[in-house]
Structure 1
Amino acid sequence: MIYPQNFENKIGFYQITQLLKEKCLSPLGEEKVSNISFSDKYEEVNEWTDQTAEFVQILQEEDDFPAQYFFDVRPSLKRIRIEGMYLDEEELFDLLRSLQTINSIVRFLSSQENNNEKEEASNSYLCLSRLANDICVFPKIVQRIGNILSPYGKIKDNASPELARIRRELSATMGSISRSLNNILRSAQSEGVVDKDVTPTMRDGRLVIPVAPALKRKIKGIVHDESASGKTVFIEPAEVVEANNRIRELESDERREIIRILSEFSASIRPYIPDLLLSYEFLAEIDFIRAKALLALQISGLKPAFENRPVLDWRMATHPLLQLSLAKHGKQIVPLDIELNAKQRILIISGPNAGGKSVCLKTVGLLQYMFQCGLLVPMHEGSHIGLFSDIFIDIGDEQSIEDDLSTYSSHLTNMKIMMKQCNERSLILIDEFGGGTEPQIGGAIAEAVLKRFNGKRTFGVITTHYQNLKHFAEDHEGVVNGAMLYDRHQMQALFQLRIGNPGSSFAVEIARKIGLPEDVIADAASIVGSEYINADKYLQDIVRDKRYWEGKRQSIRQREKQMEDTIARYQTELEEVHKAKKEILAKAREEAEQLIQEANARIENTIKNIKEAQAEKEKTRLARLELSDFKQNLDNDEAQKMQEDKIAKKMEKLRERQNRKKEKKQNTLQNNKLEETSQKKNETQMPLTPGSIVRIKGQTTVGQIIEINGKNATVAFGSMKTTTKLDKLERSNAQLTKTGLDTKSTFVSTQTQDSMYEKKLHFKQDIDVRGMRGDEALQAVTYFIDDAILVGMSRVRILHGTGTGILRTLIRQYLQTVNGVKHFEDEHVQFGGAGITVVDLD
């Protein structure tokens, strides 16, 4: 319920509707604006405001929304419901273009909905898409109109065979007349009957020749007209009269054929008129929503958090009309912060005259009414707006001579209706509560009415100057005082609302500013009494001190917030440092282990060479020299220096283990020494032939002899062939694999080992693919994962960002196909969350 009937005029909503109509593209939208309505249904208001918010997003982000040809052809469609009525060419052209616009809008919203389903994008137009569901677009009607009309809205020659024939004959006849007239004109010019620059012209649809009145008898024909000055007559020569008559007949035939075509088309679409009208209702709704979105952009309107209960928690709310008016003069509006909730439902605002109390009242009424009509409102996005079933307002002078009502009587009438109708879901807005009569009784009645409002747990904003109402707010739960601030030093209103304390009227200060004589002010002060003056002064001091401490508290809050942000940033950085430290230590351990393994391999290889050389002094010396060189390389490497003690201990343990093995096997070796020596001698004395399995002395790589040429042999080591001396080869009992290598003694060159060590040393466990296209990111991740598996990483991180989620989906689909990937998941929310994928490798 909205009370009174002129509610919209009182709060300025009528001006809002005028702004909306200016932004409409056609009468379709203007009609919707005229019928705009207040709703107290949560789902309805939520849908309206969501539609407007989505259209604001379209206006800001989309460039191809179809916003042309919003024609209202509903009157024409309703007219042709009657048999025999038809659409004329202009109406048909408007129907064609507006249907094309409807088709384009439906296609635009449907494509957006499909894209959102596929890409799971956040920028969706779900409410507008629902609005476009089940809207007919009539492609066959559009196609048929296109067959009838040209791109310029005229009936095509080939709209029907009969029309094509008529227009061909008409064109031929007019050409014949033109030629005849030119011949007659040239003859008349040569005889001096007409001037040289005269050309045929048209009068009453007939081609004629302009001739001077004195010479009109020189040309046989019919005089059709004369000029206004009487100096020229227009003669239709007798030779072309019949042809002109034929043109008239053909033009009539043409018009009849066009009417037949239009009537036939109108009859064909008559069954579809109800569906067509529904489609135009959709077009009207789109025009209306577009106008609301444009208004929202003009006044910086948005949709705050919407709650299905009576509540006002507004931050930086502004009166849109006042905002636009001040902006024209280069001024800034002072925003309003106001809160009404279950604990403080009624706000009593006091303060000086012209301090902004009424503006505050109208701002609350206008913004709440606008929002429940489906409009976006100018306030901070962190605000909360509720839902009220009734809004009552009492503002301004309601004197009525006809109804014998004074100002105060009209106020009391409004109070009576409000008390009867209001409930816990109502919002009442009263300006100058209790005014218009003797202050003492007026204040008492106002307090009694306020008590009833509070008893019904209604919500409201009330402005007053009465002290008893301020005291009532202090003593009763549910009612709270508020003050419009005033700068007493500069003697000007600040137009800022502060809730919690009552305001002062600053009557004495304002009187001094205006220039009232000081003796008058002193006399008034003595009449009212020093107690009242001091109380008002104390109230001013309280408000001033509160402003000061409020500013201090705000400053402290800001500093605390900065400190909290700084601490949080330091904690995050410290955690990152700890994490990096752990990663560095883990990497160092891996490198140390690899180094130890390499050292072990070298030691074992040296021991093996010594064994195979049967303790020959020269080969033992060479093996020890090789081991010494390797140790020297370790000493030169800074990373290996850090692990020198561990390597030395490991080598010592290996030596002790080898010595123990030697002691255990010594007896066995002595017993079998002769037998092994004899067997080895027999094997070495056997001649080498093509097909023999051999290796180069001192090496472990196994190959096969392909051919022997004298003292040289060609040997295949896997896919590589080499020629070497026979005396450098020796037989091997190892078996060849498919790659030509012994499965028990795989050979890896020092160069390859160094390359892999270098690759692992410089390998980064993170990759950033943000900003890449899908195929680029996928290729980069493929190479990255391959390298990670090659160097033996156990965990890597892929930074792809959140965005639309496309990169994240593509990368994870690829990871599912990689055998070396054991597990992947989102990074911890503290370190990036869904924007980073952590991959565990086998």
Structure 2
Amino acid sequence: MTVDSSVNNQLEMPVVLDELARRTHTQRGHDRAAGLRSATSLEEAERRLGETTQARARIETAGAPTFGGISDVGPLVTRAVRGGTLDASELLQVAECAHGLRQLKSHVEAPEDGEYGALSSLTSQIEIDDLLEKDVFRCIGEGGEVRDSASERLRELRREAHHLARAVQARVYEIVAETRHRAMLQDQLVTLRNGRYCVPIKSEFKGEFEGVVHDRSGSGATFFVEPVEIVNLNNRLRELHIDAAEEVERIFHELSGEVASRGERIRAALSAAEALDLIFAKGQLSIDWDCNAPRISKDGIFHLVSGRHPLLYLAAVPIDISVGKDTLALLITGPNTGGKTVALKTVGVLTLMARCGLHIPAAAGSMVSVLGEVFTDIGDDQSISRNLSTFSAHLSRIILILERAEQGSLILLDEIGTGTDPEEGAALASAVLEELTMRGARTIATSHHGGLKAFVHLHPDMKNAAVEFDEDNMKPTFRLLDGLPGSSHALAMAERLGMNSKIVERARRHLDPGRRAVDRLLTDLDARRHALETDQQAIADERRRVRDMIASLEEQQEAVRKDRAHVFTELRDRGRTLLQDAHTEIQDILRSLRTAKREGKETEVQRLRLKELEKRVEDAAALRVSVDPVCTDWVCANRVWDATLHPGDDVYLGSVRRAGILLSLPDESGLVWARAGNLRLQVHAREVSRPASPPPAKSVAGVSGLRLERALATATQLDLHGMRVQQAVEKLDRYLDDAVLGDLESVRIIHGIGTGALRKAIHEHLSRHPSVATFRMAEMDEGGPGATIVSLHA
């Protein structure tokens, strides 16, 4: 599985690796990408491709990880491990790297048994606690200055030095302000020389001013003298500075020890980060170039679907090409500048990319083999210095290939047999292809030799292919056509490029008659193939249109189904709400009736009527279930009419979930009449079955919980006093409907006396209600002026 450097160069693999390296974030990752080499085994190639797949998926779901702060601190760590002391900037670099490594681990980390297992195994190697970076950032500021908080001793030394410096400055300014010194001063200022406070003395007074000379101006006119009065103070200040510097050095040494103690973990984490940088660069390249993971063949098969040369990107015309399964050698023919060499290089560079663990710019399902070596003879390698002609250069390369080629090798030969006598060149090329095929190598070659096309056509393990040429526009389309040899179209190209048409026509007359016949045959075959492709494309488009139409109809059908289910749900909910409201009213009236003072024969009559009312409400609620979509599954399972059923038979009515009696046979519409309780129903025949195995009855919301005693108040009276007019009228309206449903002759409406507004509104509503025959004020023993007796239509 090794690849010669000349093969890499001929297939432009270094350019691909440069693109990969541009997508890394660390120097070490960049170096690894630029120097990436092919895997040495099938397992390694598959592992590398799996890593790339995981990295791409991770980028697409969580974004690209950050490698900020990670740098090659390996040499610094080594120096610390050997006992060396790192300075402030070096310690900051190590701390920032440690922080970056932990951030990387946090972003990439995933369960090892999940879809990112390969990435997790690398992040598990990043085991650095945050104590190092906390200590470094506590002690050293962003600019590299050592903070006072680095240690308590440093804080005290700096505080004392600060106070002493202010005292020294104050004393020096006192000296400067003294009258006896004014004439000696070059300027009334205080300056620092060699870390000691000094005053500028004129040169002629340097012997008169008591002190220590530390410096002189460039002109020699001024001497910078430390007054003798502050020498001891400056000495103490200098001692404090020295002590502080030693404390800083001690802190640096201590922090360097922390780095040394984590040396092995930092090195392991850097190695893991370097690998992750390369892997995520491969994932990003896969996204940028619209790549897919190829399948790896164990049988030496190369099968590219819509393969594109990566360096041509959008300008590349996708090609389909296969070799290694039924065909061991593929010969590509056709016009110059038609794309033969690009096809050759596309197969080669995509194979090398896969061997490096890179996804390839080809459709899903593409396959490459990583077995055997890759050999190429592409381009003109002639050399004057080595006395090699074009033919000699090609031949020398082919001889080397023949010495090393074996089963599974991929061999790419551009313009095989060129540069010499066409007949001899074709014969030599035929022999080379035959030898390589006998060895089991996979060979793709390009040529213009007509004799070689014929040889390949007759060989069982070889096949022709051609790059397409547009006869109408006289230019290549760069499409690769499988199974047919191609014409070189040399004369057509010459005419297109501007050669005198008379010369071109004369050249055609010089062609061998047999050659002209073959060219015409190839042209005719190509025209027929193009027509067939057009028809096939039209059929494919029509199939696609029909599929889209079917999908659209299915979507519409699904929308209708959902709308129907939504309507059924609304109807069911509305019925449930009505029944719950009736339930509530019955409870309210029942409580009112229980507080009534009179209880006699009339009340018992109303009780019996309420029983009938409850039965009718239950029947109506059961009838509502016929629109409930939950019945559908059971109903659909009983579509066939039972021919043994006859009028008078006991049946089960699936739509209302009740037992009943069959009253008629199905009519032309498939409908039958049946009785369920006191209700006479017309239902579809498919909803009727024998009651031997009915589905379990389901309770109807709002009805099953009603007990007969709760319905008593409905038949006697309605208490509305204390309500607002609108609320009372709405409740009265529902109550009158229930009373009519119960076949009641009269009811009592309690509205109270109050201001009379409620009574007036109730009387106005009663006067317009279609179910009210008459109404009158109640007698004293019926409730007096606080109630109204209402007679209902029969």
Q: TM-score, normalised by structure 1?
A: 0.63
Q: Does 1:507 align with 2:490?
A: yes
Please say if residues 433 and 443 of structure 2, whose CA atoms lie closer than 8 Å, have aligned partners that are also in contact.
no
The DSSP-based 3-state class of the residue aligned with 1:344 is coil
Aligned to 1:538: 521
Give the counterpart of 2:227 among 238, 246, 257.
238
For 1:488, which of 468, 471, 487 is the aligned residue? 471
- Alignment partner, residue 265 of structure 2: 275
**Pairing partner for 1:334 from 296, 317, 331:** 317
The CA deviation string for residues 450-494 of structure 1, in whole angstroms up to 9 with x for no partner, is: 011222232232121111222222112332222222223323222
Partner residue, 1:259: 249
* TM-aligned CA distance change 1:353 to 1:2, over 3 Å: farther
- Distance in 1 (CA, whole Å) between partners of 2:401 and 2:625 is 90
Kindly report which structure 2 residues correspond to 1:89-104, keeping only aligned pairs within 5 A, or say none.
89-104=88-103
% identical aligned pairs: 25
Distance change >3 Å, CA 536–CA 147, structure 1 → 2: same
Q: How does 1:773-792 map to 2 (within 5 A)?
A: none
Change (3 A) 1:195 1:520: farther
Q: In the alignment, which residue of structure 1 is the partner of 2:111? A: 113
| Aligned mates of 1:542, 1:700 — CA distance in 2 | 90
Distance 1:100 1:638 in 2: 72
Compared CA separation, residues 292 and 625, structure 1 to 2 (3 A): closer
Label 1:85 to 1:469 Cα distance change in 2 as closer, same or farther (>3 A): same
Read off the aligned partner of 2:293 and give its amino acid letter. Answer: K
What is the one-letter code of the residue matched to 1:128? Answer: L
CA 1:575–1:463 in 2, change beyond 3 Å: closer, same or farther?
same
1:374 matches 2:351: no
The residue that corresponds to 1:828 in the other structure is none
Q: Of 389, 394, 398, which aligns to 1:415?
A: 398
Residue aligning to 2:308: 318
Distance 1:580 1:138, change over 3 A: closer
Give runs of aligned pairs for residues 443-482 of structure 1, distance below 5 A.
Answer: 443-482=426-465
1:547 matched to which residue of 2? 530
How many aligned residue pairs are there?
628
The correspondence for 2:546, drawn from 543, 548, 563, is: 563
Deviations 1:692-732 (A, max 9, x none): xxxxxxx9967xxxxxxxxxxxxxx99x999x9xxxxxxxx
Which residue does 1:13 correspond to in 2? 13
SS at 1:321 equivalent: coil
CA–CA distance in 1 between the matches of 2:171 and 2:64? 55
Supply the AA of the counterpart residue of 2:102.
Answer: N
Q: How far apart are the structure 1 equivalents of 2:290 and 2:450?
A: 38
2:202–2:221 contact (8 Å) kept in structure 1: yes
- CA-to-aligned-CA distance 1:614-672 (integer Å, 9 cap, x gap): xx9x99999899979999999999979999995775479999xxxxxxxxxxxxxxxxx
Match of 1:297 among 254, 279, 287: 287
Q: Secondary structure at the match of 1:546?
A: helix
TM-aligned CA distance change 1:258 to 1:580, over 3 Å: closer
Query: 1:251 Cα deviation (Å)?
Result: 4.2
Q: CA deviation at 1:39?
A: 0.9
Q: Structure 1's 72 and 186: CA in aligned 2 closer, same or farther, altered over 3 A?
A: farther
Structure 1 distance, partners of 2:345, 2:233, is 76
d(CA) in 2 for partners of 1:522, 1:321: 39
Shift of residue 584, structure 1, vs aligned partner: 12
Deviation at 1:199, TM superposition (A): 5.8
SS at match of 2:462: strand
Contact 2:426 2:452 in 1 (8 A): yes
Q: Does 1:132 align with 2:132?
A: no
Residue 347 (structure 2) pairs with residue 364 (structure 1): yes
Aligned mates of 1:350, 1:86 — CA distance in 2: 69
Q: Determine whether 1:62 maps to 2:47.
A: no
Provide the rounded CA distance (Å) in 2 between the counterparts of 1:574 and 1:261: 77
1:361–1:177: structure 2 CA closer, same or farther, 3 Å change rule? Answer: farther
CA distance in 1, matches of 2:261, 2:606: 109
1:739-797 CA distance string (max 9 Å, x none)? xxxxxxxxxxx99x99xxxxxxxxxxxxxxxxxxxxxxxxxxxxxxxxxxxxxxxxxxx
CA distance in 2, matches of 1:375, 1:248: 63
Q: 2:5 aligns to what SS in structure 1?
A: coil
Change (3 A) 1:151 1:539: same
Equivalent in 417, 425, 436 of residue 434 of structure 1? 417
| 1:521-548 deviation digits (Å, cap 9, x = unpaired) | 2343333323323422432332233223
Q: Deviation at 1:292? A: 2.5
State the distance in 1 between where 2:260 and 2:614 align.
102
Give the Cα separation in 2 of the matches to 1:199 and 1:537. Answer: 104
Secondary structure of 2:331's partner?
A: strand
Moved more, 60-69 or 285-294: 60-69
Q: Residue 139 of structure 1: CA displacement?
A: 4.0
One-letter amino acid matched to 2:29: G
1:40/1:388 contact within 8 Å kept: no
User: Which of 263, 275, 280 in structure 2 is aligned with 1:285?
Assistant: 275
Residue number among 139, 146, 149 corresponding to 1:155 in the alignment: 146
User: How far off its partner does 1:73 sit?
Assistant: 0.6
Q: Secondary structure at the match of 2:472?
A: coil
Kindly tell me: are residues 473 and 250 of structure 1, through their superposed partners in 2, closer, same or farther at Cα, counting changes over 3 Å?
Answer: farther
Amino acid paired to 1:361:
L
* Maintained 8 Å contact 1:210/1:232: no
Q: 1:636 to 1:235 in 2, by over 3 A?
A: closer
Corresponding position of 2:170: 179
How far 1:245 moved relative to its partner?
Answer: 5.3
State the distance in 2 between where 1:255 and 1:625 align. Answer: 104
Cα shift at 1:394: 1.3
CA distance in 1 between counterparts of 2:437 and 2:421 reads 24
Distance 1:194 1:355, change over 3 A: farther
Task: Name the residue aligned to 1:833.
Answer: none
Q: Retained in 1: the 8 A contact 2:81–2:259?
A: no
